[in-house]
Amino acid sequence: MDETLNKQGDSSYATPFNVDFFGAKPKNYFTEYTIRVLALPESIKSLLMDSSTAEFIEDNLGQNFKLTREQITEVTRIIRDILLGDISINDMAGKISEKLRVGPTVASEIQSKIINDLFGSAIDDIKKIQKERFPQPQYVPRPAPFRPPTAPDRPDLKIEPNVNRNNVVDLRNK
């Protein structure tokens, strides 16, 4: 972990690990946060702390989608929360759309880029954490609701082929 932190010092960009280190925090915030991070698989710890993650967010996502500084910070937080298992990966596009104030199409494109280009090496570990934190609800088949029988369909109006349909008023079906 010290190695990763040393690599992180080489970059001027915030990583998902340190994005919210500045500012007032509760008394045990850093201790509890560090314990959570240390419990993660190595591949996820690497994504959280490596400067290449920060560079991907800044140089790839930031430039390709013309994101502002605030939007880049929000994407970094969303990535952190997914890696920690605080947000479901299925909710990522919605969170991106909400926090960055972008449309659903752009949010889906950003999500795809993150999943395909950033999470690739750790995707199995991410899926494991996601399954633990957000288990799929068991499917319980429900009986079909009772519906009373409906009236039979009305017969079609029979109109001679040479009669203009726009000039005929169907009084039976009103």
Tens digit of each residue's pLDDT (9 = 90 or more) over 37-75: 889 999 999 999 888 999 999 999 999 999 999 999 999
Q: What letters, b where the CB count within 10 A reaches 16 and e where it falls short, cover 119-141?
A: beebeebbeebbeeeeeeeeeee
Range of the domain at 15: 2-133
Residues 99 and 117: their CA atoms lie apart, in Å, by 21
Asked if residue 118 is part of any domain, the answer here is yes
Q: CB-based contacts of 92: which residues, under 8 Å, 6+ apart? A: 78, 82, 111, 114, 115
Q: What is the pTM of this model?
A: 0.69
Residue 20 placed within a domain: yes
Task: Specify if 39 maps to a domain.
Answer: yes
Distance of CA 132 to CAs 84, 91, 172, Å? 11, 16, 62
Q: Which phi-psi region, left, alpha or beta, contains residue 136 (left: φ > 0; alpha: ψ -120 to 50)?
A: beta
Q: What is the mean pLDDT of residues 157-171?
A: 63
Secondary-structure percent of the chain, ordered helix, strand, coil, rounded to 5: 55, 0, 45
Cβ 97 vs Cβ 107: under 8 Å: yes
Within-domain flag for 171: no
CA–CA gap between residue 134 and residue 155 (Å, rounded): 52
Is residue 104 within 8 Å of residue 93, measured between CB atoms? yes
Concatenate the DSSP letters of all residues of 105-132 into one string.
HHHHHHHHHIIIIISGGGHHHHHHHHHH
Q: Is 164 within a domain?
A: no
In a domain, residue 168? The reply is no
Number of domains forming the structure of the chain: 1
In a domain, 158, yes or no: no
What does the pLDDT read at residue 75? 94
Do the domain assignments include residue 92? yes
The CA radius of gyration of the chain, in Å to the nearest whole number, is 27
Q: What distance in Å separates the CA atoms of residue 81 and residue 47, rounded to the nearest whole number? A: 12
pLDDT digits (tens, 9 = 90+) for 91-149: 999 999 999 999 999 999 999 999 999 988 888 898 888 888 877 665 555 666 666 66
